[in-house]
Amino acid sequence: MDAIFYFDFGSPNAYFAHRLIPGIEARTGARFRYVPVLLGGLFKLSGNLAPMVAFGNVPNKLAYERREIERFIAKHQLSRFRMNSNFPVNTLVLMRGAVAAQAEDVFEPYVEAMFQAMWEQSCKLDDPAVVMQVLAEAGLPSERLVARAQEQDIKDGLTAGTQEAYVHGAFGIPSFLVGDELFFGKDRLRDVEEEIFRRSA
């Protein structure tokens, strides 16, 4: 029984999930299929709002969310995480690049490079020059990926991934699909793992 991981590089919680997924795969034998989603597009489809907007007038809620992240980092020893000083970052080009990386068969190293740059190195990834540098340093075909990200079939691919997530009930990132069961948020990874085991029994 495999699972789907709907992600956007702009979500720190998607980064946390990305770091924990290998452990789940090792324990369950499942493989996660990563599906690039444009979080802003998903928000529009679902009528959702970013937490900083939805809870902007609830300072205790935002403070709690920050504390919850600190506890999660400590629990899972994710010490490389750094809150991006440029947050929020427009990820449209990055997510189109992810679809292009799938087409170019360099998806896994692309995903790893972008998550590292966003949430470990605090790079300004809505700056095209910075993106090119990150890709080059990762040994990826930077010019080819950036060019392909502008092609209509790649743009359509990101739209399709976002629509797929919405159709399956997603309203935010990270979201996970195991069979027909949707799970939202990094805190549901244990439930995701248990559902994989349940369906594999």
**164 lies in which domain range?**
3-200
Residue 80 is predicted with a pLDDT of 96
Number of domains in the chain: 1
CA separation (Å) from 43 to 163, 166, 171? Answer: 11, 9, 6
Residue 49 is predicted with a pLDDT of 81
Q: What is the pTM of this model?
A: 0.95
pLDDT digits (tens, 9 = 90+) for 51-88: 777 777 888 988 998 999 999 999 999 999 999 999 99
Coil, strand, or helix at residue 201?
coil
Residues of the chain with pLDDT under 50: none
Dihedral angle of Cα 188, 192, 193, 198, to the nearest 10 degrees: 130
- The 10 Å Cβ neighbour count of residue 161 is 24
The domain spanning residue 53 has which CATH number? 3.40.30.10
Q: Taking a C-beta distance cutoff of 8 angstroms, is the pair 154, 100 a contact?
A: yes
Nearest to 153 by CA among 70, 84, 96: 96
